[in-house]
Amino acid sequence: MPRPPRNPFYIVLGLVGFLFTITASSYCVSVLRGVRPETAQAERPHLFEVLLDRHGTALLTGQLVVLAVATVGAVALDEYHIRNKKP
């Protein structure tokens, strides 16, 4: 039985899913630090923290859009390969 062709959308889903997990977790920590400023360090904030403060919502939204498009693409490509499979 021949192996089905690889779906490149799965690579995109894995990478962007991992990045989304890191971004969402960091964003939650950033929000919690804003609510309880006494837990924040007194020194200069990290560059990633500044990036999340300024563009965190846009980053999360963009990653969700990429995840949605890649999910639809992965399902569509799998369906295409199933329909065009020769018996």
Amino acid 18: pLDDT = 97
**pTM beyond cutoff 0.95:** no
The CA-atom distances, in angstroms, between 12 and each of 47, 57, 69 are: 26, 21, 10
| 85: nearest Cα among 44, 19, 77, 39 | 77
Angle between helices 47-83 and 9-35 (to 10 degrees): 150
Q: Which residue has the tokens 């020769």?
A: 86
Q: Using CA atoms, how far apart are residues 36 and 54, in angstroms rounded to an integer?
A: 19
Pick 41 or 53 by higher pLDDT.
53
For the chain, give every domain's residue range. Answer: 9-37+47-83
Pick 39 or 25 by higher pLDDT.
25
Length of the chain as a residue count = 87
